[in-house]
Amino acid sequence: MITVAEALDQLFALAQPTGVEEVPLLQAYGRVLARDVASTRDQPPFAASAMDGYAVAQAAPGDVLCVIGESAAGHRFDGAVGPGEAVRIFTGAPVPPGATRVVIQEDVTRTADQITIGERLDESDNIRPAGNDFQAGSQISAPRVLTPNDIALLASMNIAKVPVARRPVVALISTGDELVMPGEAPGPDQIIASNTMGLHALLRELGAEPRLLPIARDNAASLKTVLALIDDADLVITIGGASVGDHDLVAPVAEELGMQRAFYKVAMRPGKPLMSGRLDRAMMIGLPGNPVSAMVCGHVFVAPVVRAMLGLGAAPAGRKTAPLAAPLPPNGPREHYMRAVLTSDGLRAFDRQDSSLLSVLGAANALVVRPVRDPARNAGDTVQFIPL
């Protein structure tokens, strides 16, 4: 049995970056920027007015200036402004040559083609210099998960096609004679395949492209038939059939098909029977079947692997710290991921931690991480957790 940290290292060694593709800007939200991109233009491309008012060469309280024209957004004034003159100007319009400031319209009185500067002139020049926001050559650095704000900046830089990491294609395979798909009518001995659905959602959230394969039954022929459908997947995830029971076929069948196994068991709870290796060009991860084990392994192993494939670096799931709201018993020889609720009082682990209890996982918003042989902890002690 290896530790969680050792298992992660081995997984990162197997995870291959998916490479780069270009997508239209409108499809870039949520994707991982794969290469630095640079603006080819200044923004604003000209000195622009920050206010509605009058562009002037000079102004002092009481001055009377002659309005010689207008500069609006998208329509510059063709000419310069000199002493004794003013150009009517609007927000975003080019400031004409000769102007040193924009006097806001609230600070002048207008009569026909003249303005009189008021007594309380504001201090600012109300001009945004060319390149004030960013200049040609300004970069957005990769890698980063593109947010709505990034999309606005990319658009402003006129970057219409964005180099992003290709989404890893992930084939998801449930195994078990007892499983039916949600919405089907289960027989008396059957249950609903739940992990595949949860992992599908997790993979989508991570920016992968999950593909749900048919459920493999508990015989070698069925499992081989389904494994033959993995096609161009970058990652194959099997669920269940990974222990050492008579019906646990994943490891022997995958090995028969040529899988090179990297490891088999990990010292963690929930989730001990975890397996990984390489099957042809795809990486393979065999998750335990117990629903909570599968989802916890999804957060602890699959998520970091997908992020590594997307070029976001080889890092474990992000952890935070918080005080305990209630004591915890000592931990045993396996790293324990305890379902818990974090409130303003601190972290409170659920009493029931059995790995079959999805209802407890659904009620949790944190996984408290208990190191191997962690002693008993008191209320108020600070512990690490993974936010859910």
Contact status: 290 vs ligand AMP (CB under 6 A): yes
Asked if residue 99 lies in contact with residue 65, where contact means CB atoms within 8 angstroms, the answer is: no
Binding mask 119-158 for ligand AMP (x = CB under 6 A): ----------------------------------------
196 counts as binding ligand AMP under rule CB under 6 A: yes
Output the smallest distance, CB 287 to Mg ion, in A: 12
Work out which of 239, 259, 283, 366 binds ligand AMP, going by CB under 6 A.
Answer: 239
As measured in angstroms, the least distance from the Cβ of 176 to Mg ion is 4
CA distance 85 to 114: 9
CB 146 within 8 A of CB 137: no
The stretch near ligand AMP (CB under 6 A) out of 41-49, 63-71, 104-112, 235-243 is 235-243
Q: Is 288 in the site for Mg ion (CB under 5 A)?
A: no
Report the alpha-carbon distance of residue 106 to residue 264 in Å, rounded. Answer: 74
Residue 376 near residue 329, CB atoms below 8 Å: yes
**Continuous H helices in the chain:** 4-14, 148-156, 195-206, 220-227, 250-256, 291-297, 303-309, 358-363
Amino acid at 62: G
Strand-strand pairing, 20-24 and 161-165: antiparallel
Choose which of 99, 142, 171, 193 interacts with ligand AMP (CB under 6 A). 193
- Partners of 211 in beta bridges: 171
Q: Which does 276 bind (CB under 5 to 8 A by kind): Mg ion, ligand AMP, none?
A: none
Which residue type sits at 77? F
Residue of the chain from 94, 96, 176, 286 that contacts ligand AMP (CB under 6 A): 176
- Closest distance of CB 297 from Mg ion, Å: 15
Question: Are residues 347 and 320 in contact, defined by beta-carbon separation less than 8 angstroms?
Answer: no
Among 210, 277, 286, 291, binds ligand AMP (CB under 6 A): 291
179 contact choice in Mg ion, ligand AMP, none (CB below 5 to 8 Å, kind-dependent): ligand AMP
Binding site for ligand AMP (CB under 6 A): 174, 176, 178-179, 191, 193-196, 239-243, 245, 288-291
